[in-house]
């Protein structure tokens, strides 16, 4: 391991432990806004081998006070593109892969990214979809106003992969049921 991580190695009680297993993990950051930029930046600085991000929005002036990867020249640019360039300046060893697409319109593509990741962080600033606590068995979704959204998945089962099996069993949002 390179000298970048000597401090962490010297602190015996550092949690999570910097073990070789940690450095074999890849992560997906869904949403490159306020929380997502902080998470992606920390991940590349920590040395995760692969950091993948997805966002389908533009950088705006109102983002600059809370989204650490963007600066004034980025206003009007696609977040995924600007984030990739900023993260490349900070990476110590990570492979950076950023995507610009609508995760609901391209569910299979999004499902492929999720399946390839070891850790998935959904950090959307304004998530439009939440798992419905009253209907976990059918995977029904509701929007932030409580309206049911049928057919959110790639087929009528509401699953991303179209098989009828839970496509994202490892994906958990704090305080909610699985997506």
Which CATH number fits the domain that encloses residue 50?
A: 3.40.50.720
Answer whether residue 145 is part of any domain. yes
* Burial letters 110-140, b for 16+ CB under 10 A, else e: bbebbeebeebbbbbeeeebbbbeeeeeebb
Q: What is the pLDDT along the chain (179 residues), one digit of tens a residue?
A: 566 666 656 655 666 666 667 778 899 999 999 999 999 999 999 889 999 999 999 999 999 999 999 999 999 999 999 999 999 999 988 999 999 999 999 999 999 999 999 999 999 865 544 433 333 333 334 444 444 444 433 333 333 333 333 333 344 444 434 44
Do residues 8 and 18 touch, judged by C-beta distance below 8 A?
yes
Q: Which of 126, 147, 171 is a domain's end point?
A: 126
- Cα–Cα distances (Å) from 109 to 16, 53, 54, 106, 123, in that order, read 31, 13, 11, 5, 18
Provide the pLDDT for residue 124: 85
Tell me, yes or no, whether 12 lies in a domain. Answer: no
Contact status, residue 123 vs residue 41, Cβ threshold 8 Å: no
Instruction: Assess whether 81 and 137 both reside in one domain.
Output: no
**Residue the block writes with tokens 């109102």:** 62
Domain termination residue (choose one: 111, 126, 141): 126
pLDDT at position 161 is 38
Residues 30, 100: one domain?
Answer: yes
C-beta of residue 131 within 8 angstroms of C-beta of residue 77? no
Question: Do 75 and 65 reside in the same domain of the chain?
Answer: yes
Residues 37 and 84 in one domain: yes
- Same-domain pairing of 98 and 158: no
Tokens representing residue 174 in the block? 């704090």
- Tokens at 14, concatenated: 């550092």
- Give yes or no: residues 74 and 99 share one domain: yes
Give the global pTM: 0.66
Tell me if 33 sits within 8 A of 123, measured CB to CB: yes
Q: Tell which residue, 155, 167, 159, has the closest CA to residue 112.
A: 167
- Identify the domain containing residue 157 by its residue range: 127-179
Pairing state of beta strands 119-122 and 26-30?
parallel
CA 53 to chain centre: 6
Would you state the pLDDT for residue 7? 62
Q: Are residues 132 and 119 in the same domain?
A: no
Q: What's the structural domain count of the chain?
A: 2
Which of 29, 35, 27 is CA-nearest to residue 119?
A: 27
Is 56 in contact with 36 (CB distance < 8 Å)?
no
């Amino acid at each position: 391991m390179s000298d970048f991580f000597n401090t962490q190695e010297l602190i015996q009680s550092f949690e999570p432990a910097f073990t070789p297993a940690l450095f074999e993990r890849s992560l997906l950051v869904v949403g490159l806004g306020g929380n997502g930029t902080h998470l992606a930046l920390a991940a590349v600085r920590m040395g995760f081998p692969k950091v993948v991000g997805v966002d389908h929005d533009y950088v705006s002036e109102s983002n600059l006070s809370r989204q650490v990867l963007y600066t004034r020249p980025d206003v009007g640019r696609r977040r995924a593109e600007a984030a990739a360039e900023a993260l490349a300046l900070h990476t110590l060893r990570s492979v950076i892969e950023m995507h610009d697409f609508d995760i609901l319109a391209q569910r299979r593509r999004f499902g492929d990214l999720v399946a390839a990741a070891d850790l998935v962080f959904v950090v959307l600033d304004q998530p439009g979809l939440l798992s419905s606590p009253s209907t976990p068995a059918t995977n029904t979704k509701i929007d932030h106003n409580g309206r049911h959204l049928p057919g959110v998945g790639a087929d009528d089962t509401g699953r991303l992969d179209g098989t009828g099996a839970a496509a994202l069993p490892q994906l958990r949002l704090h305080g909610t049921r699985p997506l």
